A and B are shown apart, each in its own frame.
Chain A
Amino acid sequence: MSSSPVRPDLSPPLSRLHEWVVTVDHKRLGVMYIVTGLVFFLIGGFEAAMMRWQLAWPGLDIVMPEDFNRLFTMHGTTMVFLVGMPILLGSANYLVPLMIGTRDMAFPRLNAFGFWLFFFGGALLYFSYFGAQGLYGMGSAPDVGWFAYAPLTERTFSRGHSTDYWILGLMVSGFGSIATGINLVTTILCMRCTGMRLMKMPLFVWIMLVDAILIVVAMPPLAAAQVMLLFDRSLGAHFFDVQAGGSAVLWQNLFWFFGHPEVYILILPAFAFVSEIIPVFSRKVLFGYPLMVAATVTIGFISMGVWVHHMFAIGLSPAVNTLFMASTMLIGVPTGIKMFNWVATMFGGRIRLHTPMLFSIGFLAQFLFGGLTGVMLAVVPFDWQVSDSYFVVGHFHYVLFGGLIFSIFAAIYYWFPKVSGRMLSEALGKWQFWLLLIGFNLTFGPMHVSGMLGMPRRIYTYQLDRGWEIWNLLSSIGVLFQALAIAFFIWNVIRSLQRGTPAGDDPWDAWTLEWSTTSPPPAWNFDTDPEVRSRRPLWDAKHPDDPDWKYE
């Protein structure tokens, strides 16, 4: 590509690396985000596998207790901040400008800045494994859990610097997320091509708009809370120091005021992916577009007002608990609308069961399951019963793994041909899907049972006679299937990059603007500025006898 800054003084591999490091192209940054996210996904997955190995049977000694604490802290932190966030920001980065028919993001250099802040922030967090002085005086990762409850994080209980690494790494990558969030909102509102009014945008773009707004308003409170914690730890302030009048519950409020919108920040992109994939593979227009937009905006608003449901068990007043129980159940309504609309899109369609569609259907089923256990947990008395148990672990893995990760794989299989110019292998993809489906349900299904039987989360081992053995063993066996599935995925990507079938511009016969340009798209995206009259511009071009704008 002629736009690349070729440095003749560097050797070819170095020159290519240099191109990527200095790039401000939204597509390259998107790919960098996603690849970094997938690398962290492997690391976080390895941490999870170590924990499952340790818990496979009572009384094992695979890892030390203090290492186990680090494993679950780093696993949670990694998966939320270093896997979910970059993959969602990366896919928005890559696809939003293409879908709205523009050449780049509103602030291309800020975009690069956001990515590198995320990248170095993640690196800083992982540097703690080598650099931080932990509780036991040696190199140590954070070990206070991903939501880092006070007062465990106070200097008295968390010696050394491991918690500081958690604060600083996440704060730096959080600044990057805010920058990219601002960039996305501005891009979507200011850079749309001719004819693309807000209600003509692909639903993907709508959802990413709401998502980016949530990022802009939810990350700063976390940064503020982390600053206070940092001052507590390094300047001797008393924000979360109970003995000096501070409040540990305040940290919980502040963290979850960020944390629950964050959950929706993570799951909304999953909605965005399947909202594009299901119509294309059902050969039908998305059912109830205006209602889907309304549901997305509603979810955005309500998600700011449900955070206390993470704190039902800490003894707040019944009035507060009831209020947040109601708001939590309320959020099930727009989410249910979406479920029904996806199913209604499939209903009566000519469904093509390619890998992206398989993963999307897997998403629908598993997200529904996770959503329903979520409604169960919203009921305060039930939550008291299973709070901090493996039931909760099973619930949110069904939402974030069965929901988000499955939809991410759907998205990768769907857009990989656009990004790389080559198709991923369908056969290997189906192997991956079925192995992951079996492995996932085998691992996280039994957790609901072990949780009901009273197994608390975050314990390092357990006694033999609790009746938890078989459920834990099943969970751990599931990991083998999942690992095999991920191996299939990696092999598929490597193989397809080298000798996959060339994709052509529009391999899926899809309808949004990104499929009207070459695969991979050129640096300038479109030769001419696109003009749009309906939500499916490529449909209009392919079927001039029956265009969509007649109906919208």
Chain B
Amino acid sequence: MTTHDHQRIELPAPCTGPMLCAFGITLGFAGIVTSWPVAVVGVIFALAGGVHWWRQVLPDPVEITPDITVHPTPIEPRPERVAKLTTHRAHRARVPLEIHPYSAGITGGLIGGLVMAAVALTGSWLEHGSIWFAINVMAGTAMPSIGDMSTEGLLAYDASAMMTAGTMQLVLCLFIGLLYGVIMPLLPRWPVVWGTLIIPAVWCGLMLAAMSVVNPALETHIDWTWFIGAQVAFGLVCSVWVVRAEKIDTMQHWSYLERLGMEAPGVQPEEDDE
């Protein structure tokens, strides 16, 4: 930067006019809420400021030339190289890169559902002396009439409640198992801990909060210890089952030829690091 003396720098000269004019205008308006002499003084100020301002701009603006005394440090090129985003296998990939087969989730859900039912029925038998209690209460989610039943009624076998609860258990476990299969590869670090503790904890918390709306019958009769135990049992069985299944690649970073199954020299990228 050695060319600064070639340029003649001109800056607008300082000017009192704008400030005086603004002050006058404000006083002029303030006159409306105070008294007219204030407005008169304001108008005088505004005119004086305005005239001063105009005389600085017209016919030609008054300018000053500053003495250039300080200079910025010149910008030096940086020695270090620019880091680029390098593309690798996971760049812009849709996670997860590898998934468990969906079938693992479905079977895991079914097995987990059996274990869960076993735990719940055990609890029902130990607490109430009847395995039908848990089944009836569960059916109450879909059958409002269960809510009106007496405790004796809840302890007895009821065919429609059995059908309802069985269907619900089958469908729910199937879908939640599928869900486990899909999200297990997404969970960080210890998927089984997530599946066994954290997901059931969130689910139970949600149920605890929403139960009075979803199933009032269940809320009055539910035994939370066994309920949570059953959920944890399902989570443990299902997540262990899913994690045991071998992972398969989503193939999203494979080339078209690879996905077609071509095996020929040059189709597969060469692995540098292995």
Query: A and B: real partners?
Result: yes
Q: How far is the CA of A344 from the CA of B241 in the complex (A)?
A: 37
Q: How far is the CA of A447 from the CA of B144 in the complex (A)?
A: 38
Among candidates A108, A168, A505, residue contacting B12 with C-beta atoms closer than 8 Å: A108
A153-193 contacts to B (CB < 8 Å): 161, 164-165, 168, 171-172, 175-176
How many pairs of residues, A versus B, come closer than 8 Å at their CB atoms?
Answer: 133
A101-131 contacts to B (CB < 8 Å): 103-104, 108-110, 112-113, 116-117, 119-121, 123-124, 127, 131
Q: How far is the CA of A120 from the CA of B77 in the complex (A)?
A: 48
Q: How far is the CA of A119 from the CA of B21 in the complex (A)?
A: 13
Q: How far is the CA of A529 from the CA of B3 in the complex (A)?
A: 10
Interface residues contributed by chain A, number (CB under 8 Å)? 59
Interface of B is mostly: loop
A504 surroundings in chain B (CB, below 8 A): 73
Among candidates A103, A123, A543, residue contacting B11 with C-beta atoms closer than 8 Å: A103
Supposing A165-B33, A524-B11 touch, asked if A110 and B18 sit within 8 A by C-beta, the answer is yes
A119 surroundings in chain B (CB, below 8 A): 22
B244 at the interface (CB under 8 A from A): no
Q: How far is the CB of A116 from chain B (nearest CB, A)?
A: 3
Give the interface segment out of A15-23, A300-308, A492-500. A15-23
A552 at the interface (CB under 8 A from B): no
Contact B16 A524 (CB under 8 A): no
Among candidates B34, B76, B78, residue contacting A131 with C-beta atoms closer than 8 Å: B34
Most buried by B among A116, A121, A164, A516: A116
B53 at the interface (CB under 8 A from A): yes
Supposing A504-B73, A541-B75 touch, asked if A116 and B68 sit within 8 A by C-beta, the answer is no
Q: How far is the CA of A441 from the CA of B59 in the complex (A)?
A: 57
Q: How far is the CB of B83 from chain A (nearest CB, A)?
A: 8
Q: How far is the CA of A1 from the CA of B14 in the complex (A)?
A: 13
Q: How far is the CA of A19 from the CA of B13 in the complex (A)?
A: 11
Q: How far is the CA of A161 from the CA of B70 in the complex (A)?
A: 52
Select from chain B the residue with minimum beta-carbon distance to A161.
Answer: B33
B15 at the interface (CB under 8 A from A): yes
A108 surroundings in chain B (CB, below 8 A): 12
Among candidates B33, B34, B56, B66, residue contacting A109 with C-beta atoms closer than 8 Å: B56
Among candidates A123, A164, A348, A518, residue contacting B85 with C-beta atoms closer than 8 Å: A348
Q: How far is the CB of A288 from chain B (nearest CB, A)?
A: 15
Supposing A19-B14, A168-B29 touch, asked if A117 and B22 sit within 8 A by C-beta, the answer is yes
Supposing A516-B72, A541-B75, A544-B77 touch, asked if A22 and B19 sit within 8 A by C-beta, the answer is yes
Contact A164 B78 (CB under 8 A): no
Q: How far is the CB of B32 from chain A (nearest CB, A)?
A: 6
B67 at the interface (CB under 8 A from A): yes
Q: How far is the CA of A1 from the CA of B23 in the complex (A)?
A: 27
A519-552 contacts to B (CB < 8 Å): 522-524, 527-529, 538, 541-546
Chain B residues at the A interface, C-beta cutoff of 8 Å: 1, 3-4, 7, 9, 11-19, 21-23, 25-26, 29-30, 32-34, 53, 56-57, 64, 66-73, 75-78, 81-83, 85
12 A–B contacts, CB within 8 A, in A order: A2-B66, A22-B19, A103-B9, A113-B53, A120-B22, A161-B33, A164-B33, A348-B85, A517-B72, A522-B66, A527-B1, A527-B72
